[in-house]
Amino acid sequence: MPFNTALTRKLGIKIPVVQGGMQWVGYAEMASAVSNAGGLGLITALTQPTPEDLRKEIRRCRTMTKNPFGVNLTLLPAMVPPDYPAYARVIIEEGIKIVETAGNSPGPIIKQLKEANIIILHKCTTIRHAQSAVKLGVDFLSIDGFECAGHVGETDITNFILLSKARQVINIPFIASGGFADGQGLAAALTLGADGINMGTRFMATLEAPIHHNIKQAIVDAEETDTELLLRRWRNTSRLFANKVAKQAIKIEKESTTGQFEEVAPYMSGQRGRQVFLNGDKDYGVWTAGQVIGLIHDIPTCVDLLKRIEKEAIDTLSKASTLYTPEPRI
């Protein structure tokens, strides 16, 4: 087994790559494909409308892979929040061993999961939040740079700085998230001190991703400049694919004199975003994508993708070792 990191050892995976917990993408098809390819697949809990639906999805995933997989549980601000403790209870009852947490005030959920001896990967966009998560007893941090899709935080720190800062001040293992699509990126993350990487947008452009082919092709055709940052005005900044709806929303956000979120709310509909993945119309609603779209040029199987990433990372690390000559010892 070529990779031996804290992540591969603790999770029992072969390649230190975690699939991002993507809304409307993280179904059993996606999670099992990544796990069967040697990485860690994740079911997205809130893609399931109820905790009992999550239970069914976990059981369905078990029929599709014998390898380790986990569940993503993201705590999002909402007028009527989901029953997070009930989702966590199902995760525990179904014997899931690995959970990725993210979002606001995760302490009670992390406590509930840790009492069941579940391995926690917690996603953070700042070092301050990472240090708070360490105090909560998480096992790994997922350090999420400004390049990422979805919620980018409000500090705009890119991964080159964020990962190095994590290496300096964080005393538990961490993985790198945001901007990763290939083995060169994995090698760079490992060199900067990470124990693996998290990929979301890259896995959307795979044959097994349960979304319309047109959206996969839109990712392949896109450049790294084809994303928009929305909701900055309300300190809930999200990186989205720069389609017609996103551009209309950002125009309203920038030009509005009232500053009322209700003006852009119709454009930010999650249900319309979900329909994008079903009907294949990339302009039907908003959907998340990272700047890494500029690095994605094909739609492989998850097995082929992770084999390629593994080879590229090994070749890159081997090449790096040839760039210096050790001084002879006297």
For residue 216, being part of any structural domain is answered with no
Residues 121, 69 share a domain: yes
**Of the candidates 306, 220, 229, which has an alpha carbon nearest to the alpha carbon of residue 38?**
306
Per-residue pLDDT tens over the stretch 198-218? 999 999 999 999 999 999 999
pLDDT of residue 1: 64
Residues 250, 155 share a domain: no
**Count of domains in the chain?**
2
**Token digits for 30?**
């996606």
For residue 114, being part of any structural domain is answered with yes
Residues 77, 156 share a domain: yes
Residue 330 has pLDDT above 80, yes or no: no
Does this model's pTM top 0.85? My answer is: yes
**Of the candidates 240, 214, 213, 177, which has an alpha carbon nearest to the alpha carbon of residue 40?**
177
Residues 102, 72 share a domain: yes
For residue 15, being part of any structural domain is answered with yes
Residues 110, 70 share a domain: yes
Residue 260 has pLDDT above 90, yes or no: no
CATH of the domain at 72: 3.20.20.70
| Mean pLDDT value across residues 315-328 | 90
Residues 122, 205 share a domain: yes
CA–CA gap between residue 154 and residue 157 (Å, rounded):
9
Burial of 131 (0-12, 13-18, 19+ CB in 10 A): middle
Q: Give me the domain span that covers residue 202.
A: 6-211+299-317
For residue 308, being part of any structural domain is answered with yes
Going by pLDDT thresholds of 50, 70 and 90, the confidence category of residue 327 is: confident
Per-residue pLDDT tens over the stretch 10-31? 999 999 999 999 999 999 999 9
Going by pLDDT thresholds of 50, 70 and 90, the confidence category of residue 307 is: very high
Residues 250, 117 share a domain: no
Residues 274, 135 share a domain: no
